[in-house]
Structure formats: structure tokens, C-alpha cells
């Protein structure tokens, strides 16, 4: 046989009747019925029923579920009354003329079946089995389509997709960094980016004008239902020569069109998205991420809003501590967010009252993205560094950005919606892990690979590291 398969398990229809087909897939079930048997053969695309005659049934014995087989046979149309409406391929079945068992499956720790619940611990440990379930296939397919849509949309609008370094220096954006020790520069560390914030601003200095990236971001913070510890993906974008309104409009248009195309069952409550000031949100809804759904029982309702006019600074508190800043003020967003022009005079006297050009995108009560117009005046940037209590040493860490701004910086701004969280809310999932192929568990472990793990003393020696016992 030249080809491994001629069709997928979701492809055959009545029009293929009379043809020969070769399918490959996983044995979802092998049902013995006296001397004959039936295999339900599954792959990512669907399930096909295979009729196995007495001779083959005897030859192959009972197949273990999830074994991988190749089946060749004739496509037969089912009589009308036997059409299985709940199966894409329900009009036909295959009469096997050849069955090759490619790999046998051991007894399963997890049933890749929607109707049999497994604990999340087992699901994450055997994620590759869990991902065989149609629901997970659907979630990952929708995620792919949404990202594909974003790429095409932004490409048409003139954005360049540019990859920025993963081994870099930390961008202090409030969370703890993941550090990577350097072998060549002993005693020095890279940090994994909390976001590509400084790089995207440097790309604007470079004149790239419109940039985006589906960017992995790394933050050493605790898990929440809507936050995977460790890493997540953002749609990171930045534009030059724009006002805040331009950023809101393009983001809004992108998501409305994406939802209409990829999630046509969903209904957006209000278009254009309402724009609410931070003060109004706190007054009226007691929250800076209000849930504006009209009917909270409706799983297809999507209520977006923008929150604008944030205070530039928050008082540092134990619960909400901006790592990297001093003890008094932390930036509400990050230290590159521009204050409103009319509030610049407040910076000296009442910094807590100054408002900024931060914008948050909120969906059904979740913050799904944040961004801002950036500071492009080195003097104001220096002032902000002082106000958040940066030491001279910390300021030096940013000298490359401040220097870059002395060589011609365009006014610029952007946003970074979180892909995982946005899709979780759009798809109505309760846990962000349902839209991620291999998520970390709640204690930031990768349960499939069992990371983090100990490394050899050769490795730590090479890095000049000594692990203290706890
Ligand atoms: N880098 C910011 C963040 O991750 C987003 C932005 O300002 O564009 O929140």
C-alpha cells in the first residue's frame, strides 16, 4: 500500500459508497457481536464505523481500546433508517478487507471519552490522552482559528509580526521574574520576558510603525482560575503616531470581526464597546472589571467594555505589590504608561491624583487585555522612575531605552490582550487550562514532563551555582 491512508475518519459520506478507502486511527471501541465485530475508528476529524467479518474478527481477537490501526475496506451506504445522525460519517460504514495493527495500547489511565470524567490531576498528567477528546480537539482548533484570524487581520492592516528575544533582561511589569543563569557570563542571569514591552517600544524607535506578535510571556506568580502560573500568550501589539482612540478602535474591530467569524453563536452585548472611566467603574460597579452582561445565565453573551482614565499610580500594598518599585507608589499599569497631559503638573504635588493613558479591555468581568499610550519624553520618564522609587542602579537598567529615546522616538502606544484568558471567556470555560494544550498545574508544575526537575551537579557546576538546602 503506497499511502498510509486515503481519507480521515471524519471524511467519508454517502457519495463515497462503492469506493475503497484506507483509514488510520485509534480504536475508540471494538464491540464483539458473536462472530462478527464493529470497530469505531477515531482520529482528530471524526469517527467511522468499521464492520469486521467473522474471519477477521477471529484473526485479530479483541482489540484494546486506543490501539492504532490501519483499515482498508469498501465504503458501504447504510440503509436510511440506520443512518447515524450524531456522526459526521453516519451515512456509511466500512467493510474491512484488511486490518493492520500498528501499535497496541496498554490499559489506559484515562478514558478519552467525554462521558467519563477524570480528575484534573490525571487529565493534566496524561494530557496527550486528554487531548484526544473531541472537546479538547475543538478547543484547540478554535484557538488555532482565532490566532489565524488575528494574523490575517493585522497583516491586512499593515502590521509586521516580529519575534523578540526570550532570553533577555527583565521588564519589570509587576511580577517576579523567571531567571536563567548564564554559563558564559558566570554570576549573571537572563530573565524571561514578562512581556516584550521594551522591545516593542524599541521597534517603534526603529520605525517599524506597526508591530504584533503572539508572544509568550513569563511571570512567576500564583495560579488563579483565570491565570496559569508560569507562562501565557499575549497578542502583543504596538503602533506609532496614534492616539489612544486608534488603539481602542482597531482592537475592538479585530475582536468583533474575529468573534463573528470564528464564534458565530456568540452575541456581543454592546457595539461599540462602552468606554467607562476608572472612577465611574469603581463608583458604579465597585470594580475596575465590571461584568456588564444583561443576562448572566446566557452562556453565549459577551459583554465587552473599555476602562480608561486609570490613576497613574497605585499605593503599594502587601496584596498588590509591584515588584521592582519602591514602597510607596507602584505604577497602575507599568512605568512606560504616559500620564494625561493635563495631569503632568500633578506629578510633583499629588502623584496619586494623576490619571494616565492606560486602557484595559474587560469581558464578562475579566480583564482580558491592557495597554497604554507610552511616555516618549525622556524627562517625564525620568520623573516616573523617581516617583516609583527607582534607585540609581535600577534607573541604569533602563538606560538603553532612555538613550534610544534620544535618537528620535515617535509617539506610540499599544495593547496586549491575553490570548488564553480571552479565549477562555469567549468559549465559556471555567478554567484557563481548557484552552491550553499543555498547561502548568496549580503549583506551577508541568505534570506531563514533570518540570521543574533537579539537574545534575555537572550542570550546576558549569553555571557556577550552588543549591542551598531549604
Ligand atoms: N506589556 C503590557 C502588559 O503585558 C501590555 C502593554 O502595555 O501593551 O500588560
Instruction: Kindly state if the Cβ of 370 falls inside 6 Å of ligand 1.
Output: yes
Q: Which atom of ligand 1 is nearest to the CA of 238?
A: 8
Question: What is the pLDDT at residue 171?
Answer: 66
**Ligand 1 centre and the CA of 415: distance in Å?**
6
Q: Which atom of ligand 1 is nearest to the CA of 197?
A: 1
**Ligand 1 centre and the CA of 198: distance in Å?**
10
pLDDT at residue 105 tops 70: yes
pLDDT at residue 329 tops 90: no
Question: What is the pLDDT at residue 264?
Answer: 98
Instruction: Kindly state if the Cβ of 173 falls inside 6 Å of ligand 1.
Output: yes
Nearest CA to ligand 1 atom 4: 195
Q: Which atom of ligand 1 is nearest to the CA of 200?
A: 8
Q: Which atom of ligand 1 is nearest to the CA of 236?
A: 8
pLDDT digits (tens, 9 = 90+) for 107-162: 999 988 877 778 999 999 999 999 999 999 999 999 999 999 999 999 999 999 99
**Ligand 1 centre and the CA of 194: distance in Å?**
9
If one counts every other C-beta atom within 10 angstroms of the C-beta of residue 113, the result is: 15
**Ligand 1 centre and the CA of 175: distance in Å?**
12
Q: Which of 255, 317, 307, 250 is nearest to 281 (CA)?
A: 307
Nearest CA to ligand 1 atom 7: 371
Higher pLDDT: 267 or 171? It is: 267
Mean pLDDT to the nearest integer, 1-25: 94
Residue pair 316/283 in contact (Cβ under 8 Å)? The answer is: no
Quick one: angle between helices 134-156 and 419-426, nearest 10? 120
Residue pair 344/338 in contact (Cβ under 8 Å)? The answer is: no
pLDDT digits (tens, 9 = 90+) for 44-78: 999 999 999 999 999 999 999 999 999 999 999 99
β-bridge partners, 419: none
Mean pLDDT to the nearest integer, 21-28: 98
- C-alpha span between 361 and 368 (Å, rounded): 6
pLDDT at residue 327 tops 90: no
Percent share of the chain, pLDDT over 70: 99
Q: Which atom of ligand 1 is nearest to the CA of 374?
A: 7
**Ligand 1 centre and the CA of 272: distance in Å?**
23
Question: What is the pLDDT at residue 397?
Answer: 85
pTM, rounded to two decimals = 0.94
Higher pLDDT: 225 or 138? It is: 138
Write the DSSP symbol of residue 418: B
pLDDT at residue 246 tops 60: yes
pLDDT digits (tens, 9 = 90+) for 426-458: 999 999 999 999 999 999 999 999 999 999 999
Mean pLDDT to the nearest integer, 323-339: 87
325 pLDDT band (50/70/90 cuts)?
A: confident
Question: What is the pLDDT at residue 224?
Answer: 79
**Ligand 1 centre and the CA of 219: distance in Å?**
13
199 pLDDT band (50/70/90 cuts)?
A: very high
**In which element (H, E) is residue 415 found?**
strand 412-417
pLDDT at residue 1 tops 80: no
Residues ≥6 apart with Cβ < 8 Å to 172: 194, 322, 323, 324, 325, 334, 335
Question: What is the pLDDT at residue 2?
Answer: 67
**Nine-digit cell at 417?**
490582550
Instruction: Kindly state if the Cβ of 195 falls inside 6 Å of ligand 1.
Output: yes
Instruction: Kindly state if the Cβ of 415 falls inside 6 Å of ligand 1.
Output: yes
Burial of 95 (0-12, 13-18, 19+ CB in 10 A): middle
Nearest CA to ligand 1 atom 1: 197
Amino acid at each position: 500500500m503506497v499511502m498510509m491512508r486515503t481519507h480521515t475518519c471524519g471524511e467519508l459520506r454517502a457519495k463515497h459508497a462503492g469506493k475503497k478507502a484506507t483509514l488510520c486511527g485509534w480504536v475508540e471501541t471494538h464491540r464483539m457481536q458473536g462472530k462478527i465485530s464493529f470497530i469505531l475508528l477515531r482520529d482528530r476529524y471524526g469517527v467511522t464505523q468499521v464492520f469486521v467479518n467473522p474471519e477477521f474478527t477471529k484473526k485479530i481477537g479483541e482489540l484494546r481500546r486506543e490501539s492504532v490501526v490501519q483499515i482498508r475496506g469498501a465504503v458501504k451506504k447504510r440503509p436510511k433508517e440506520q443512518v447515524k445522525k450524531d456522526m459526521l460519517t453516519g451515512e456509511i460504514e466500512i467493510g474491512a478487507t484488511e486490518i493492520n495493527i500498528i501499535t497496541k495500547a496498554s490499559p489506559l489511565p484515562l478514558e478519552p471519552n467525554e462521558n467519563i470524567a477524570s480528575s484534573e490531576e490525571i487529565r493534566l498528567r496524561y494530557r496527550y490522552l486528554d487531548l484526544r477528546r473531541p472537546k479538547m480537539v475543538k478547543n484547540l482548533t478554535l484557538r488555532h482559528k482565532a490566532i489565524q484570524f488575528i494574523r490575517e487581520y493585522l497583516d491586512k492592516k499593515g502590521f509586521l509580526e516580529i519575534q523578540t528575544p526570550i532570553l533577555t533582561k527583565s521588564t519589570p511589569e509587576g511580577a517576579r521574574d523567571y531567571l536563567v543563569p548564564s554559563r558564559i557570563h558566570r554570576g549573571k542571569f537572563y530573565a524571561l520576558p514578562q512581556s516584550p514591552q521594551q522591545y516593542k517600544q524599541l521597534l517603534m524607535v526603529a520605525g517599524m510603525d506597526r508591530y504584533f506578535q503572539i508572544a509568550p510571556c513569563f511571570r512567576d506568580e500564583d495560579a488563579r482560575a483565570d491565570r496559569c502560573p508560569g507562562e501565557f500568550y499575549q497578542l502583543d501589539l504596538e503602533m506609532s503616531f496614534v492616539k489612544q482612540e486608534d488603539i481602542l478602535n482597531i482592537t475592538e474591530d479585530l475582536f468583533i470581526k474575529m468573534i463573528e467569524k470564528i464564534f458565530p453563536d456568540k452575541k456581543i452585548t454592546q457595539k461599540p464597546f462602552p468606554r467607562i472611566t476608572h472612577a465611574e467603574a469603581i463608583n458604579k460597579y465597585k470594580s475596575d472589571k465590571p461584568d456588564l452582561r444583561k443576562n448572566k445565565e446566557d452562556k453565549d453573551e459577551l459583554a465587552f467594555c473599555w476602562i480608561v482614565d486609570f490613576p497613574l499610580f497605585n499605593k503599594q500594598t502587601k496584596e498588590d505589590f509591584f515588584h521592582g518599585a519602591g514602597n510607596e507608589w507602584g505604577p497602575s499599569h507599568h512605568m512606560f504608561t504616559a500620564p494625561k497631559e493635563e495631569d503632568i503638573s500633578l506629578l510633583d504635588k499629588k502623584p496619586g491624583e494623576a490619571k494616565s493613558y492606560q486602557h484595559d479591555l474587560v469581558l464578562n468581568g475579566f480583564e482580558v487585555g491592557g495597554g497604554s499610550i507610552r511616555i516618549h519624553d525622556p524627562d517625564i520618564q525620568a520623573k516616573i522612575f523617581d516617583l516609583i522609587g527607582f534607585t540609581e542602579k535600577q534607573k541604569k537598567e533602563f538606560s538603553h531605552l532612555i538613550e534610544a529615546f534620544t535618537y528620535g522616538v515617535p509617539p506610540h502606544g499599544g495593547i496586549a490582550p491575553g490570548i488564553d484568558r480571552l479565549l477562555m471567556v469567549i468559549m465559556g470555560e471555567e478554567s484557563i487550562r481548557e484552552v491550553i494544550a499543555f498547561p502548568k498545574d496549580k503549583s506551577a508544575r508541568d505534570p506531563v514532563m514533570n518540570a521543574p526537575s533537579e539537574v545534575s551537579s555537572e550542570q550546576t557546576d558549569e553555571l557556577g551555582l550552588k543549591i542551598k538546602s531549604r
